[in-house]
């Protein structure tokens, strides 16, 4: 039977967002297909998520692999066009801000298949970020826009989006986090990484931090200064590994560089940390719920709600060591604000809107 809904995923951040939506639509009897574009293809960046999150095996894997933004997006578009023309779904659901997201929205718009964007309206206002371009284009083309926070709705309203198309639903990534909370074992993470005492987790992959040798060198200096205070576990994204290694990051005895971790293992590590240093959007959200102090190494964030209603703060490389000292001195708070509707029920809210739209 042809599917009514086609979910397009492709990269590590997509999978925790898609899982609760797929599960909720299944409970409503909606016919679905899951596409994995293969944008992330490493087992720890992709396949392990399907097993750990209870996602069905993808119905289609396009296997596009890596490449420049243009080549990767073009390969995804070519594969999705053939698929959508053959299947003719009523709706394609896209997640986040990766190349797979904008590719699916573009293909759908050109062949007359409506799209729904989960995580619509987030804006960093930094057009040097490829993700910002993806967000803006996807939102312009989407028929349904599912917002995680009130500020996202304000951005969409300023851009002239039809208010009837916008739905504040909460954050499906938090659905996944809360559903798996009992599996995040900080003690097991300590044992796995031979950790004693306090520790920080770092996860860094943005081009502005790792692509240019000078930036990689400055980042290495900053992380070494942090490692003088507290041991760091750094699950290192393939992007930037070579530049950071060349800059001497691995040489500090207080920095333990490891391969990317599965979702459950990584979240167990984060749950037990005294601080997290990141440039990832998703980690800003996850630490907000877990109450872990988060230091975001970026000049801006498309998730300001994690600052106003969470544990996140923006820092520079030059100010990182001082910020970490402040976090360590203060200790973890016993209570903290949480954004509205980040309650583990975003998936069902999204599913109800989609089912209603499908009639």
CB 114 within 8 A of CB 143: yes
DSSP state of 131: H
DSSP H helical segments within 142-262, as ranges? 150-158, 172-179, 186-192, 207-210, 213-227, 241-246
Phi/psi for 238 (5° steps) reads: -55, -35
Helix or strand run (H / E) with residue 212: none
Tokens 């770092």 identify what position? 202
Long-range contacts, 179-186 (Cβ 8 Å, 24+): 179/20, 179/344, 180/52, 180/53, 180/263, 180/264, 180/267, 183/264, 183/267, 183/268, 184/264, 184/267, 184/268, 184/270, 184/271, 185/268, 186/268, 186/269, 186/271, 186/272
CB 89 within 8 A of CB 268: no
Q: How far apart are CA 22 and CA 217, in angstroms?
A: 42
Q: How far apart are CA 223 and CA 202, in angstroms?
A: 9
Tokens 């703060």 identify what position? 313
CB 95 within 8 A of CB 101: yes
CB 309 within 8 A of CB 339: yes
Tell me which residues are annotated as active site: 205
Residues found in the chain: 359
């Amino acid at each position: 039977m042809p599917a009514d809904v086609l979910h397009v995923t492709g990269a590590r951040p997509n999978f925790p967002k898609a899982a609760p939506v797929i599960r909720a639509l299944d409970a409503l009897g909606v016919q679905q297909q899951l596409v994995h574009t293969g944008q992330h293809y490493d087992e720890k960046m992709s396949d392990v998520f399907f097993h750990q999150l209870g996602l069905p095996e993808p119905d289609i894997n396009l296997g596009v692999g890596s490449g420049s933004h243009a080549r990767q997006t073009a390969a995804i578009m070519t594969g999705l066009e053939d698929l959508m023309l053959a299947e003719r779904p009523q709706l394609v659901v896209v997640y986040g801000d990766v190349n797979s997201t904008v590719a699916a929205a573009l293909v759908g718009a050109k062949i007359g298949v409506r799209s729904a964007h989960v995580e619509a309206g987030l804006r960093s206002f930094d057009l040097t970020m490829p993700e910002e371009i993806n967000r803006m284009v996807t939102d312009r083309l989407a028929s349904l826009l599912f917002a995680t926070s009130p500020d996202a709705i304000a951005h969409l309203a300023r851009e002239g989006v039809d208010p009837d198309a916008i739905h504040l639903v909460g954050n499906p990534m938090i659905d996944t986090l809360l559903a798996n909370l009992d599996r995040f074992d900080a003690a097991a993470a300590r044992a796995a990484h031979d950790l004693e005492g306090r520790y920080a987790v770092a996860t860094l992959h943005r081009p502005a931090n790792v692509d240019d040798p000078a930036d990689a060198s400055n980042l290495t200096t900053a992380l070494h200064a942090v490692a003088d205070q507290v041991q760091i576990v750094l699950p290192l994204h393939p992007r930037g590994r070579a530049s950071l290694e060349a800059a001497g990051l691995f040489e500090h005895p207080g920095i333990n560089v490891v391969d990317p971790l599965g979702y459950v293992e990584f979240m167990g590590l984060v749950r037990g940390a005294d601080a997290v240093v990141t440039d990832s959007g998703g980690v800003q959200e996850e630490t907000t719920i877990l109450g872990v102090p988060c230091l975001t190494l970026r000049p801006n964030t498309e998730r300001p709600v994690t600052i106003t209603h969470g544990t996140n703060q923006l820092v520079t490389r030059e100010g990182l060591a001082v910020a970490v000292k402040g976090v360590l001195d203060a200790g973890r708070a016993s209570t903290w604000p949480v954004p509205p509707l980040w309650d583990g029920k975003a998936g069902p809210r999204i599913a109800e809107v989609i089912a209603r739209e499908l009639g």
